[in-house]
Chains A and B, each alone.
Chain A
Amino acid sequence: MVQLIYLTTLLPLLGFLFNGLFGSKIKNEKIIGIIGSSTIGISFLIVVGAFFQTLSMPVDQRQTIVNLFTWIKVGNLDVNVSYQVDQLSLLMGLIVTGVGFIIHVYSIGYMHGDKGFGRFFAYLNLFIFAMMNLVLGSNFLLLFLGWEGVGLCSYLLIGFWYDRKFEKSTTSDAAKKAFIVNRIGDFGFLLGIFLIYLTFGSLNFNDVFARAASLNIPQYVFNFIALFLFIGAMGKSAQIPLYIWLPDAMAGPTPVSALIHAATMVTAGVYMVARCSIIYASAPAIMEFVAIIGALTAIFAASIALVQNDIKKVLAYSTVSQLGYMFLALGVGAFSAALFHVMTHAFFKALLFLGAGSVIHGMHDEQNIQNYGGLKKYMPKTYVTFLIASLAIAGIPPLSGFFSKDEILWSSYADGNIIYWLIGVVTALLTAFYMFRLVSLTFDGKERFGHDKHPHESPAVMTIPLIILAVLAAVGGFIGIPEIFSGEHGNQFDNWLEPIFQPAQAKIAMFGVHSSLEEIVLMVVTLVGVIGSIYAARYIYIKNIKPAEKLSKRFNGVYNLLLNKYYVDEIYDASVVTPIVKGSEIVLWKFADIKIIDGLINGVANLIEKISGSIRKIQTGVAQFYALIMMLGIVAALFWIILSL
Chain B
Amino acid sequence: MSVPIEYYLILSGFMFLVGVAGVLTRRNAIIVFMSIELMLNSANLSLVTFSSYMGNSTGQLFVFFVMTVAAAEAAVGLAIILAMFRNKLTLNIDDINILKW
Contact = CB atoms under 8 A, between A and B. Distances in A.
Contact of A627 (B24, B98, B101): B24
Interface string B82-101: 00000000000110111111
A622 B94 contact: yes
Interface string B37-60: 000000000000000000000000
Contacts of B30: none
B63 interface: no
A624 B101 contact: no
B92 to A, nearest CB: 11
A621 B100 contact: yes
B15 interface: no
Interface string A616-642: 100111111011100100000000000
Contacts of B81: none
Nearest to B20: A631
B101 A619 contact: yes
Contacts of A626: 99
Contacts of B96: 623
B8 to A, nearest CB: 20
Contact of B24 (A616, A620, A621, A624): A624
B44 to A, nearest CB: 19
Given A622-B94, A624-B93, A631 B24 contact: yes
A620 B100 contact: yes
A577 B68 CA distance: 83
Nearest to B26: A624
A624 to B, nearest CB: 6
Given A622-B93, A622-B94, A627 B99 contact: no
Nearest to B32: A624
B24 A628 contact: yes
A628 B20 CA distance: 9
Contacts of A624: 23-24, 32, 93
A540 B88 CA distance: 104
A623 B24 contact: no
A622 B97 contact: yes
A616 B94 CA distance: 19
B23 A619 contact: no
Nearest to A613: B101
Contacts of A628: 24
Interface in B16-32: 20, 23-24, 32
Contacts of B32: 624
A622 B97 CA distance: 5
A269 to B, nearest CB: 69
A620 B100 CA distance: 6
B54 to A, nearest CB: 21
A627 B100 contact: no
Nearest to B101: A616
A631 B23 CA distance: 11
Nearest to B23: A627
Contacts of A623: 93, 96-97, 99
A626 B24 CA distance: 9
Nearest to A619: B100
A120 B83 CA distance: 76
A622 B101 CA distance: 12
Name the residue in A619, A622, A626 with the highest tally of chain B Cβ atoms < 10 Å from its Cβ. A622
Nearest to A617: B101
A455 to B, nearest CB: 83
A214 B7 CA distance: 108
A620 B96 CA distance: 11
B69 to A, nearest CB: 20
Interface string A588-628: 00000000000000000000000000001001111110111
B97 A621 contact: yes
B77 to A, nearest CB: 12
Contacts of B93: 622-624
B12 to A, nearest CB: 15
A621 B23 contact: no
A625 to B, nearest CB: 9
Contacts of B100: 619-621
B31 to A, nearest CB: 12
Interface in A231-248: none
A623 B32 CA distance: 11
A47 B98 CA distance: 86
A51 B57 CA distance: 106
A588 to B, nearest CB: 40
Contacts of A619: 100-101
Name the residue in B20, B23, B101 with the highest tally of chain A Cβ atoms < 10 Å from its Cβ. B101
Name the residue in A616, A623, A627 with the highest tally of chain B Cβ atoms < 10 Å from its Cβ. A623
B67 to A, nearest CB: 23
A619 B32 CA distance: 20
Nearest to B25: A624
Nearest to B29: A623
A621 B99 CA distance: 4
Contacts of A620: 97, 100
Contacts of A616: 101
B63 to A, nearest CB: 22
A212 B101 CA distance: 76
B20 A621 contact: no
A512 B101 CA distance: 96
A619 B101 CA distance: 7
A624 B93 CA distance: 8
Contacts of A622: 93-94, 97
Contacts of B99: 621, 623, 626
Interface of B: 20, 23-24, 32, 93-94, 96-101
Interface of A: 616, 619-624, 626-628, 631
Given A619-B100, A621-B98, A631-B20, 9 more contacts: A620-B97, A620-B100, A621-B99, A622-B97, A623-B93, A623-B96, A623-B97, A624-B24, A624-B32
15 contacts: A616-B101, A619-B100, A619-B101, A620-B100, A621-B97, A621-B98, A621-B101, A622-B94, A622-B97, A624-B23, A624-B93, A626-B99, A627-B23, A627-B24, A628-B24
The 4 lowest CB-CB distance pairs between A and B, nearest first, are: A621-B100, A621-B97, A621-B99, A619-B100
